[in-house]
C-alpha cells in the first residue's frame, strides 16, 4: 500500500496545528486533547520533532513547544524524515550493499530517480501550504518548477 506510518500522519497534523499560530507555545497535553490522540503518543512525537530541530521547546510551568522555523520553511519531507528517518524507497537506495541482486541490476539507478521524484514532491509542500484548506494552485506550480 506504500503508506506512511500512522505516527507520521499524526505528526503532520500536529505540525500544521502549530503552524497556524507560529509564535505560541503549546504543551503536549494541550495538543493531545485538541487532536484526540493519547497524550504519551503526542509527547513522543514532539520529542522526535524536537530532535530533528523542527521544534523549539521550553520546560517548566507554562512551557511547551513551538515551531523552530517559519511555517513556509518546513516541508512535509522534513516532518516525514524526522519521524521515519531518511526516506529511501528501496533497501539498496540507502547504501548498505547487502543486496543479493547486485550484479547486473539495472533497475537500481532508475529507482533512485523515482525516489528523487517523491522527495521533490514532499519537499515542494510546506506546512504553510498544508495549513491552507486547499493548496491546489500553489502545489502544482511548485511541483512543476522544482521537478528535475
Nearer to DNA, 19 or 46 (CB): 46
Q: What Å distances lie between residue 27 and 1, 6, 31, 42, 74, CA to CA?
A: 34, 21, 6, 10, 20
SS3 of residue 80 by DSSP: helix
Nearer to a second copy, 2 or 61 (CB): 2
Q: How far is the CB of 60 from a second copy (least distance, A)?
A: 29
Nearer to a second copy, 4 or 69 (CB): 4
The window from 21-29, 48-56, 64-72, 84-92 that contacts a second copy (CB under 8 A) reads 84-92
Q: Which residue in 106, 103, 108 sits closest to 92, CA to CA?
A: 108
Q: Which residue in 1, 14, 36, 2 sits closest to 82, CA to CA?
A: 14
Residue 52 in contact with a second copy, rule: CB under 8 A: no
Q: Which residue in 128, 107, 105, 119 sits closest to 148, CA to CA?
A: 119
Residue 52 contact partner, candidates DNA, a second copy, none, CB within 5 to 8 A by sort of partner: none
Nearer to DNA, 1 or 144 (CB): 1
How many chain residues bind DNA (CB under 7 A)? Answer: 29
Amino acid at each position: 500500500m506504500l503508506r506512511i506510518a500512522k505516527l507520521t500522519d499524526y505528526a503532520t497534523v500536529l505540525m500544521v496545528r502549530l503552524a497556524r499560530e507560529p509564535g505560541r507555545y503549546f504543551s503536549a497535553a494541550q495538543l493531545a486533547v485538541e487532536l484526540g490522540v493519547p497524550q504519551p503518543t503526542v509527547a513522543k512525537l514532539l520529542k522526535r520533532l524536537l530532535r530533528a530541530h523542527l521544534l523549539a521547546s521550553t520546560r517548566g510551568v507554562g512551557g511547551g513547544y513551538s515551531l523552530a522555523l517559519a511555517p513556509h520553511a518546513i516541508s512535509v519531507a522534513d516532518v516525514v524524515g524526522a519521524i521515519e528517518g531518511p526516506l529511501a524507497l528501496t533497501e539498496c537506495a540507502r547504501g548498505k550493499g547487502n543486496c543479493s541482486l547486485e550484479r547486473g541490476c539495472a533497475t537500481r539507478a532508475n529507482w533512485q530517480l523515482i525516489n528523487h521524484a517523491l522527495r521533490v514532491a514532499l519537499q515542494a509542500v510546506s506546512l504553510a501550504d498544508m495549513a491552507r484548506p486547499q493548496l491546489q494552485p500553489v502545489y502544482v506550480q511548485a511541483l512543476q518548477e522544482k521537478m528535475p
